[in-house]
Structure 1
Amino acid sequence: MLLTSGSTFLRCTIPALAALLIGSTWAPDAEAKKPRMQVKSDAEADLVTYGQRDDVMRFAAELAERRGLDAAWVKATLAEARYVPNVAKFIMPPPAATAKNWAAYRARFVEPLRIRTGLAFWRENEKWLQRAEETYGVPPEVIVGVVGVETLYGRHMGNFRVLDALATLSFDFPTGRKDRSAFFRDELEQLFVLAQAEKIDPRELKGSYAGAMGMGQFMPSSWNKYAIDFDGDGHVDLHGSPADVIGSIARYLAEFGWQRGMPPRFDVAPPVDPENRAALLEPDIKPTFTARQFSERGAGLPAAGREFPGLLALVELFNGDAPPSYVAGTANFYAVTRYNWSSYYAMAVLDLGEAIGLIKHKIDR
């Protein structure tokens, strides 16, 4: 079936999802820049550390001075950081010829296991989800959607040592794509700030190949800036405290513009005229047009969308060789894309959370 929007799809599939729940339970190869040490295989990566590199030790000394940290501790810890070939491999972008496919992307996340697990997560943490909505205005289904898409509710938080991942990308960022080593050096610095504040051994933290951590996959800088001790136990724990995860995600989205009570998107029929469609697509996913301007350009909105007082963006989602899908995104849709800069990601978060919410409300009645 051709997808016109997430909400339309959910209305069509919710009975089937309910039946399933009630009755049951890419990264291409790339030539990495050669590090200044010998690496024979991933299995031997733990034998190759950064301890003898002058540039790494200079970075450690400068970091310690900037942040007022113990220089011996920073140097000794960074000396144990390991170059990991798979980190350099996985950070590479997909082949240019790879076609985007929203239908296939959606199917990876809006599926029975994630919905069933998300339903259990919602029930177990309902009081924290309610408190997060009261405090930050972010509804439970959005937070539940984020945790589900990011880590399947904590099942897949990453097995890379964050210290190794960030050191690899800081000091041996692979060639073949835009160099982001400065960004990762900043994140590596933030990792030491985090470890000092939370009294954590940075060598023990695990995460993704890019250094994101916990159920919500926060980079160290986001952890330091937006994470919150929502359960009041004196520590911010994004790995083991669902309360802290929920509060931190809600705070992050609110800081990036989430507005209480605003729908994140509307169904939309795109303009038939190619010039009008191109004009609405030109600003990409940033809300730019009023509902009236949408109508003047020939975009069809539902009644609620036509009455919406804010700005909208025409969001185009490619479906491989099939026609694209479209939604009209609001400021709240844009806020979700600040968590992960992808309209496909934002749609998956919203559709997953709404699917779980519809099932929950159906069962609770």
Structure 2
Amino acid sequence: MPARKSATFFAGTLAAAGLSLSVMLTAAPAMADAGFKNWVAQFRSTAAQSGISGTTFDRAFRNVRDIDPEVLEKARYQPEFTAPVWDYFDNRVHEQSVATGRAMARKWKPWLDRIEARYGVDRHILLAIWSMESNYGEILKNDKVMRNVVRSLATLAYADQRRAKFARTQLIAALKILQRGDIDESHLTGSWAGAMGHTQFIPTSYQAYAVDIDGNGRRDIWNSIPDALATAANLLHKNGWQTGKTWGYEVTLPQGRKFPGGSMSLGKWEQIGVTRARGKPFSHPSDKAELKALDGRSGPAFLMTRNFFVIKRYNNADKYALAVGLLADEIAGYGGLVQDWNRPFTKLSFEEKQELQQRLSAYGYYDGKLDGKIGEGSRAAIRAFQAKAGLTQDGHPSMEVLSTLRNR
């Protein structure tokens, strides 16, 4: 079971009364509330059959009076990720995420020593996951992102046919978490789909892997960073993490050669001309590895070993697992890529991207956060400025755009 639901969801029809989402969102509140209240009353019996006491259920739903329309909007409009590969990595593996990871490695060293000794999972991998999942906990402070898990899951279970089964299962698990006393209902918060805490576990995965390493009697991934990191380590450990080994290697491919699919030993890869990008020998030549080139043959290439596929048990996406591995290596001081991603522009540093956002904001093109992360809001602002300045409207955070802004 993955830590959080990573695959893209598609919009479904409403489970209740055959209503469309648009009808539900524009219906009179009383009508929507009545249907939802009836569903909650019926679900109380379902929860009881799963061992949830009436007291726990009533406490969980005490402040849940209606559905959360924003959850339905996010569920309905979740697109498949189609941005260029460099965009994904630029927003996750950058100077700030590396620097913060190193600072957290120093701050939490005693706990990381303990977690690493118990589970055998490299601390830098855990720090990278923490960064990827919640920006080292910063997302948990954002009330616009964090939501009442019970309300979110009840909304999906009631009003989203495609996710209803998943949401009911997760809702029961969330109620069991409350009943056990690991967290109270006012602090049971998560993403719109119910992913919780510093390391973003859905309730069933929390039940399977949550750890109370700080010994206070609660498996608290919301407030205890040691518990959150140990929980992530426990997931990787139980899914076969190989202690003392890497996730993979950046490699150089010989020109003009086609490569077989599937897995073979690092030694055999080396025999057919695939070598480490920095020229060092493979540490464990008998280990099996699979070749992946997410940006085509002209971009960086990698031989992925067992631990890469263990990371995918956290989130079943090649981009995610590779970003974790690359960020972990940079936090550990091993350096970045030898062959960079194929960008059609000159890359900005993280601080330069923040400057780009600030300058776009000063000219009235951008009203988002100056966080150095180039999302759709930043790209729309860049395109608007490019149109005004007579530049190609590609939305890329390029040095050309920043230079033009600086010269205005």
The answer, yes or no, to whether TM exceeds 0.5 is yes
Q: Which residue of 1 aligns with 2:209?
A: 226
Residue 73 of structure 2 is matched in structure 1 by 89
CA-to-aligned-CA distance 1:234-258 (integer Å, 9 cap, x gap): 2111111111112111111111111
**Pairing partner for 1:169 from 152, 156, 159:** 156
**What does residue range 86-235 of structure 1 map to in structure 2 within 5 Å?**
86-92=70-76, 95=79, 99-157=82-140, 158-173=145-160, 179-198=162-181, 200-235=183-218
Tell me the SS of whatever aligns to 1:196: helix
Shift of 1:225: 1.4
Change (3 A) 1:339 1:153: same
Paired letter, 2:292: V
Q: Give matches, 1:246-261, under 5 Å.
A: 246-261=229-244
RMSD: 3.4
Residues 165 and 209 in structure 1, CA contact (< 8 A), matched pair in contact too: yes
Change in Cα spacing, 1:51 to 1:184, as seen in structure 2 (3 Å) is closer
Query: Displacement, 1:107?
Result: 0.9
Which consecutive unaligned segments of at least 5 residues does structure 2 have? Answer: 1-7, 336-408
Change (3 A) 1:58 1:136: same
SS of 1:156 mapped into structure 2: helix
Task: Choose from 312, 317, 320 the match for 1:342.
Answer: 317
Of 307, 311, 315, the residue aligned with 2:292 is: 315
* Worse overlay, 81-90 or 215-224: 81-90
Q: Which amino acid aligns with 1:301?
A: T
Letter in 1 for 2:38: R
Cα deviation for residue 152 of structure 1 reads 0.9
User: Could you tell me which amino acid in structure 2 is paired with residue 65 of structure 1?
Assistant: Q
Cα 1:195–1:100 shift into 2, 3 Å: same
Residue 100 and residue 246 in structure 1: after superposition, are their counterparts in 2 closer, same or farther (change >3 A)? same
Which structure carries more relative contact order (alpha carbon 8 Å, separation 6+)? Answer: 1
SS, match of residue 303 in structure 2: strand
Q: Give, in whole Å, the separation in 2 of the partners of 1:265 and 1:169.
A: 38
Give, in whole Å, the separation in 1 of the partners of 2:25 and 2:168.
25
Q: Structure 2 length normalisation: TM-score? A: 0.67
Q: What is the CA-CA distance between 1:140 and the residue it aligns to? A: 1.3
| Pairs within 5 Å for 1:37-52 | 40=25, 48=33, 51-52=36-37
Alpha carbons 2:248, 2:308 under 8 Å: kept: yes
- How far 1:357 sits from its partner (Å)? 2.2
User: What is the CA–CA distance in structure 1 between the aligned matches of 2:236 and 2:217, rounded to whole Å?
Assistant: 23
> What is the 5 A alignment of 1:299-310?
300-302=274-276, 304-305=281-282, 307-310=284-287
Could you tell me which runs of 5 or more consecutive residues in structure 1 were left unpaired when the two chains were aligned: 1-26, 361-365
Q: Does 1:242 align with 2:225?
A: yes
Q: How does 1:21-36 map to 2 (within 5 A)?
A: 33=14
1:53 pairs, out of 38, 45, 51, with 38
Q: 1:210 to 1:111 in 2, by over 3 A?
A: same
Matched, 1:331 2:306: yes
Tell me which amino acid in the other structure corresponds to 2:37: Q
Change (3 A) 1:315 1:237: same
Q: CA deviation at 1:209?
A: 1.0
Instruction: Flag the 1:202–1:32 CA change in 2: closer, same or farther, 3 A.
Output: farther
Secondary structure of the residue aligned to 1:318 is coil
**Pair 1:270–1:95, CA change in 2 (3 A):** farther
SS of the residue corresponding to residue 217 of structure 1 reads coil
Cα distance in structure 1, aligned partners of 2:50 and 2:12 = 34
> Alignment length, in residue pairs?
314
Shift of 1:323: 4.3
Please tell me whether the aligned partners of residues 11 and 76 of structure 2 are also in contact (alpha carbons under 8 angstroms): yes
- For residues 126-149 of structure 1, the C-alpha deviation after alignment (integer angstroms, 9 at most, x for no partner) is 011111111111111111101011
Greater per-residue helix proportion = 1
Bigger radius of gyration among the two = 2
Residue 358 (structure 1) aligned to one of 333, 340, 343: 333
Equivalent position amino acid for 2:197 in 1: G
What is the rounded CA distance, in whole Å, between the counterparts of 1:318 and 1:82 in structure 2? 45
Label 1:293 to 1:185 Cα distance change in 2 as closer, same or farther (>3 A). farther
Equivalent pairs: percent with the same residue? 25
Residues 68-90 of structure 1, C-alpha deviation per residue, up to 9 Å, x if partnerless? Answer: x2135425644726422222232
